Amino acid sequence: MPSVEKASLSASPRPRFLRVPRIPSLQELHKLIRPILVMLPAMGLILGFGMGIVGGGQWAGTIWAAATVPVLSALLIEIVASLRRGDVGLDIVAALSMAGALVFGEHLAAVVVALMYAGGQYLESFAERRANREMTALLARVPGTALRHRDGRLEEVPLDAVVPEDRLLVRQGDVVPVDGFVAAGMAVLDQSALTGESVPAQKKAGEPVMSGVTNVGDAFDLSATHSAAESTYAGIVRLIEAAQASKAPMTRLADRFAMAFLALTVVLAGGAWLWSGDPIRALAVLVVATPCPLILAVPVAIVSGVSRAAKAGVLVKGGKAMETLARVKALVIDKTGTLTHGQARIVEIRPVVGLSPEGLLQLAASLEQASKHVIARALVSEAQAMALDLLPPIAVAEVPGEGLEGIVDGRRVVVGGVRFLSQRVPNAARAVADGHYPVGSVVVAVAVDGEPAGLLILADPLRSEAARVIDSLRRLGIARITLASGDRRDVAEAVTVGLHLDAVHAELTPDRKIAIVQEEKRHGPVMMVGDGVNDAPALAAADLGVALGAKGAAASAEAADIVLLVDRLDKIPVAVQAARRSRRIALQSVYAGIGLSVVGMVVAGLGYLTPVQGALIQEAIDVAVILNALRALWGPEPS
């Protein structure tokens, strides 16, 4: 066996004292600054009151102003950035009230507004930060190195060092690193992550192999035809990046009220100033108008919904995803590994007369214990699930990818494809020629002591909950449901018989899946559900991507907005129900909070409230709407 050595393709590592420190990204700076912006006004508020108690009240205003300035500065920077993008939000009202309070010496009102604003911003980003910590990198399943034949040895080289015509060794369990063809040996490949085909494909010498598929058979040699950057998997990654870049940003629920509320605030504050000639009245209106019911109530309700979904095994990546989930009107769903389990299972056992189904499976599975083939593992798993006693096989001979024969309990057993059996057992072909087999199924023939003994039929059936989930989503208001599969059309249509689908699309490439998602957007916000690498671009392109993270590919989990942490589709209606309840409660809080704020603004404009009194009244409104928003966390369990 050739030895394996690490290729020395790069210079020695840079000395530690020469390494350039990494500059934090803007997002990382926000993560560091936001907690500080909450702490500063909170500590300033407490310290100012403390100074008043110990006789230093003359310093209270200065302390409150100093605690407000950092929050106001950060807010102004964000407003400028938003205006450059063409976004006008409620943050402008908060900035006007803080700046006005500082200008007119109402420092207590200023620091209260600063605390509420900073707290709301921190809370709004909490769910997204927490979810992102649990996400895997997009290229987690792609090998970073490859084993290359060179001068009679195997050398482990970086993936980007592989060039066309290199001969690589792909071991069992490895992900194929680059596009190529089988140079030697028989390749048994799990292509479900790329094509959606649930049954492994067998590739002989000279046949092409795509990067990103998994070798589930014995090791084989691959002759590279493309570099890693030009291979199939890299192309899918580029599709994901392009889809994410072109995805239209969803407007936050709170921002939809921004323009109307901002206009009303300016009119009332300006009117009060002009009518009375007193700028303090305008300031009181601004303080009461500080949109804390929107800044706080909406994220509290949405984050509560995110928490409820997490308890059900659904990881929602932030508040925007939760808001979008509540508004979904169309669903595009994958087949293999999503509507189905993504692996072959026994759907029927057909023994000959005199042999029970359990007896046929016991003999076949006992022999298959000696094989590493994926179908062999499926038969053994089924037998173990039925609590059958598996006997040790002896004198086993296997033809890789075709079948095997051996002795089980003193009986000569042959298991394999129809052609394999026909070569060893007379009349075997006639015994399996008649009969109907499910579309897309795999037929495993069994012979015992030189006679045909029966058939084991394997397929990738629908999940037991699939029909119930589709109907539940219909009742929840998703009007359009479409299947988008990379599998063969006849298989897709046969498997989905009885499901209430509006359209079935099959034999789709990743870019065609993106096109289907874009077409469905005319019906409203689109949710895409999938699990494989080939689904990742469509997940990124949809308004909302949902990935099955329990067994799915890392690329789909990274591209999606929501990840199911348990391998069950019935968690999707639970998440939709939680999202819609959270949005409903958030809207209730918004309407109530804005209504009370408008009343307070009118009272302040008439001169019956000072800025500090307005800030305290606004605090009372905040408490009321936050308590209402928390109902999204403590309400009844979604059904």
Is residue 611 in a domain? no
Question: Hey, which residues are catalytic here?
Answer: 334
For the ranges 53-62, 129-138, 326-335, the lowest mean pLDDT is seen at 129-138
Only one residue has tokens 């000959």, namely 352
* Claim: this prediction has a pTM higher than 0.75: no
List pLDDT tens digits, range 11-20.
333 333 334 4
- Average pLDDT along the chain: 79
How far apart CA 55 and CA 59 sit, in angstroms, is 9
> Does residue 486 share a domain with residue 398?
no
Is residue 505 in a domain? yes
Residue 347 corresponds to which amino acid? V
Is residue 395 in a domain? yes
Q: Where residue 193 falls among pLDDT bands split at 50, 70, 90?
A: low
How far apart CA 305 and CA 631 sit, in angstroms, is 10
How far apart CA 360 and CA 174 sit, in angstroms, is 33
Residue 137, pLDDT score: 36
> Does residue 467 share a domain with residue 563?
yes
Task: Point out the domain boundary residue: 430, 459, 488.
Answer: 459
Q: What is the domain extent for residue 211?
A: 143-176+178-230
DSSP labels for 108-174?
Answer: HHHHHHHHHHHHHHHHHHHHHHHHHHTPPPTTTTS-SEEEEEETTEEEEEEGGG--TT-EEEE-TTP
List pLDDT tens digits, range 200-245.
778 888 888 888 788 888 889 999 988 877 776 666 666 555 544 5
List the structure tokens of 112: 């209260």
> Does residue 482 share a domain with residue 390?
no
Instruction: Give the 3-state secondary structure of residue 558.
Output: helix
Q: Where residue 527 falls among pLDDT bands split at 50, 70, 90?
A: very high
Is residue 356 in a domain? yes
> CATH number of the domain that 422 lies in?
3.40.1110.10
Q: Where residue 523 falls among pLDDT bands split at 50, 70, 90?
A: very high
Is residue 16 in a domain? no
Only one residue has tokens 């090791």, namely 219
Residue 449, pLDDT score: 87
Residue 34 corresponds to which amino acid? R
Task: Point out the domain boundary residue: 525, 559, 578.
Answer: 578
* Residue 513 host element (H or E): helix 510-520
Task: Point out the domain boundary residue: 405, 437, 459.
Answer: 459
> Does residue 452 share a domain with residue 393?
yes
**Domains identified in the chain, total number:** 3
> Does residue 321 share a domain with residue 354?
no
> Does residue 554 share a domain with residue 493?
yes
Mean pLDDT for 292-297 is 63
List pLDDT tens digits, range 315-335.
787 778 888 899 999 999 988
**Are 541 and 532 within 8 A, CB to CB?**
no
Residue 504, pLDDT score: 92
**Are 439 and 542 within 8 A, CB to CB?**
no
List the structure tokens of 229: 């950057």
Mean pLDDT for 513-518 is 92
Residue 576, pLDDT score: 92
**Are 338 and 431 within 8 A, CB to CB?**
no
Residue 35 corresponds to which amino acid? P
Instruction: Give the 3-state secondary structure of residue 509.
Output: coil
Q: Which of 146-150, 336-340, 566-570 has the highest mean pLDDT?
A: 146-150
How far apart CA 67 and CA 277 sit, in angstroms, is 30
> Does residue 507 share a domain with residue 429?
no
How far apart CA 604 and CA 622 sit, in angstroms, is 17
Residue 19, pLDDT score: 40
> Does residue 467 share a domain with residue 332?
yes
Pairing of strands 208-209, 180-184: antiparallel
> Does residue 534 share a domain with residue 432?
no
List the structure tokens of 383: 């037998």
How far apart CA 257 and CA 304 sit, in angstroms, is 21
How far apart CA 386 and CA 389 sit, in angstroms, is 9
> Does residue 544 share a domain with residue 470?
yes
Share of residues in the chain with pLDDT > 70 (%): 79
Residue 410 CB coordination number (10 Å): 8
170-179 burial, b for 16+ CB within 10 Å, e for fewer? Answer: beeebbbbbb
Residue 230 corresponds to which amino acid? E
Residue 516, pLDDT score: 93
What's the Cα-to-Cα distance from 493 to each of 53, 348, 375, 489, 501, rounded to whole Å? 77, 20, 24, 6, 11
Is residue 64 in a domain? no
Q: Where residue 189 falls among pLDDT bands split at 50, 70, 90?
A: confident
C-alpha closest to that of 191 among 172, 213, 208, 173: 213
> CATH number of the domain that 479 lies in?
3.40.50.1000
List the structure tokens of 298: 């909406």
List pLDDT tens digits, range 401-428.
788 999 998 999 999 887 888 888 877 6
Is residue 322 in a domain? yes
pLDDT exceeds cutoff 90 at 340: no
List pLDDT tens digits, range 98-118.
888 888 887 887 888 788 778
Strand partners, 180: 209, 224
Residue 617, pLDDT score: 81
